[in-house]
Chains A and B, each alone.
Chain A
């Protein structure tokens, strides 16, 4: 329940009402005051003061002064008349309610209108500013265009002038040329004589003494100098060949053709792989120095493979893998051993691992990838999984389309699948 503030006092003149409202210690701000045409409310919880005014007032111009624990209202009457009392005496509850709501609505509408008006003015200001800027830029642009146009016209005029001078020169030349055209085949001496007999025709300075050709009519240059020049020309050079080499690159393609990013990645991976030394060194303590080197072990394995010692080769590769499990060639070669030993599943595993490590696919690791596919394909076929085998052969062919052996084998597998041929 609000606490009503009732100890207000008021005076009036013909045009205004002066209302003084003590606040009983409460602090008031403009937000606590609500005023409309015929309704005044001051709400400072828990205090409340409201008044339905006797007659309408001009709420826009009326003022409220807050200070000294008091609010002092100056309300300008809409119609100058003396009021019987401050408030409407016989206002019933409903009328009060209606007036209150009306007042609120009116106030809201007013606020809305004000914001609208503000927005509109703001937009107009913006538009004006924009137009002004555009005008300025337009003017600047036009100025530059005009400058350019002027230049263009100036140059066009100069060009025309120059062209006409050339034309005059050309006219002489064309008459001379027509005469010259069927003479060019004749031997030099004859030409010289003939020309001597003709009248001296002005010639554009072509002599190698670098006479600057003047525009317009040309000085009649001696025709002799031209012919002399022809005799002075050195004979055609003695033919010779110069052999060239081109700058080599790590990858055979030129910079722009290479997929540099991928190739870098591949090189990086290789470098990384070389640096890895994994697995427990404690186990390997009793190994000789060279036996701790995966490359050395790989070479050993290769040699044993070549001699037919497939188990020995597998052991070498195993040890190498334990030292460094990121070298694709170890898996690749071990797969070849497993094939020979008919450990087909292991061969498939190793070829797969090798292919995994041979990413990204670049020209540099083409050979290795082809081998991996072929070995896995062979293993699949020996397990009679011909479809999978064919997949691998076709992958190998994709990388190396020119390989006849792979092509033939792929064909054989296709036939097998179609069942038209006995096993290969």
Chain B
């Protein structure tokens, strides 16, 4: 399926594993050939399954059941030795687990009044600088940043003004963490709002609205001076923002692309090449994109202020794997081109994208 040109990357399906529960998130365990599936069992409990890749199949190493269904997880804030998993569940609880001793969480807080839709971590895994922190975005309209060394209260809380009717937060992402002080959080909401919070100055740095609900946001790299941000939405659209130049009124330049008719659930940048990213869609398809920078990334406007110039996006490959939405996607940080995706047809698939070296 998809183009079979000689030098085009191919998406090869390596392993397919049927699951007996709904999988909401899948993540590679760093520095290993193991992956985690997080989700909700039929009886309304949460499940964490640890698999190992053996040749052409997945071997189940461990299964952990928790009282509440789990929506999302991240390894972003943990050290490489500990490799603790932080999860957000349907009840608004944030937990950090040691997978070798998962009976009692290492950290636990009822962070939100409603389901935690999205979670991200920064400062761990030997990437970037500064304190390890976790951000959670919830249907209760708030975005909260947590430090695992501080119990019970978040270190930052982005909440609606008193009297403002709340909007669901659907996605969160860390960025700009290039030194110990700098850090931003980007949040996307169901009404199309995208907000950029600067944690150093504790203020709202930028906001915009892309009309359709924002399903996923991600910076191309968390640990550098913020370079690019991709935001995907309902109705098949995604926007790539050039984050290097902020204009006082126009904000950041962007280019948008309509990939397909259905929702784009996730975007994930290739860890080994920040200009390549994959989007997963409600029609069960995956699209591999490449961003090309313009000749000049910024220019002066009529009043002399700097404004950014957006580049262009080209489709490298696409493939349809399922009839149900592919709701989660993760690239392996260790093996270029290896990725795992989970779909609502209760299947997790390990894929290999070839020829990425030639791009």
Contacts and interface: CB of A to CB of B under 8 A. Distances in A.
Contacts of B190: 254, 256
Contacts of B73: none
A43 to B, nearest CB: 67
A147 B159 CA distance: 53
B53 A242 contact: no
Contacts of A156: 14, 55-56
Contacts of B145: 237
B160 A245 contact: yes
A163 interface: yes
B33 A148 contact: no
A246 B160 contact: yes
Majority SS at the chain B contact face: loop
A159 B147 CA distance: 35
Interface size class of A (residues with CB under 8 A): 35 or more
B150 interface: yes
Interface in B121-175: 126, 129-133, 145, 147, 149-150, 153-162, 164-167
A237 B12 contact: no
Contacts of B150: 236
A246 B191 contact: yes
B193 A246 contact: yes
B334 A166 contact: yes
B100 interface: yes
B12 A155 contact: yes
Nearest to A240: B202
A206 B123 CA distance: 12
Nearest to B123: A233
B159 A206 contact: no
Contacts of B80: 204, 206
Residue of A156, A173, A181, A246 most packed against chain B (CB within 10 A): A246
Contacts of A204: 31, 80-81
Contacts of B157: 239-242
B348 interface: no
B147 A163 contact: no
A173 B195 CA distance: 41
Nearest to A152: B12
Contacts of B4: 144, 147
Contacts of A242: 156-159, 197, 202-204
B129 to A, nearest CB: 7
Contacts, number: 142
B293 to A, nearest CB: 25
A237 B131 contact: yes
A328 to B, nearest CB: 27
Given A144-B4, A236-B150, A244 B204 contact: yes
Interface in B206-263: 207, 209, 211-213, 234-235
A159 B33 contact: yes
A234 interface: yes
Nearest to B354: A151
B352 A155 contact: yes
Given A242-B204, A247-B209, A255 B161 contact: no
Given A152-B14, A156-B14, A255 B211 contact: yes
Contacts of A249: 191
A349 interface: no
Contacts of A256: 190, 212-213, 234-235
B192 interface: yes
A260 B207 CA distance: 25
Interface of A: 144, 147-148, 151-152, 155-156, 158-160, 162-163, 166, 169-170, 173, 177, 180-181, 204-208, 210, 213, 233-247, 249, 252, 254-256
Task: Please provide the 8 A-B residue pairs with the shortest distance between their CB atoms, ordered closest to farther.
Answer: A236-B147, A237-B155, A254-B191, A163-B33, A240-B202, A236-B150, A206-B80, A247-B209
26 contacts: A151-B352, A155-B354, A156-B56, A166-B32, A204-B80, A205-B126, A206-B80, A206-B81, A233-B130, A233-B131, A233-B132, A236-B150, A237-B199, A238-B155, A239-B153, A239-B155, A240-B202, A241-B157, A242-B157, A242-B197, A244-B195, A246-B164, A247-B193, A254-B190, A254-B213, A255-B192
Given A159-B352, A160-B55, 18 more contacts: A144-B4, A152-B352, A155-B12, A162-B33, A162-B335, A163-B53, A233-B130, A234-B131, A235-B131, A236-B149, A237-B133, A237-B145, A239-B154, A240-B202, A244-B195, A244-B207, A246-B189, A247-B209
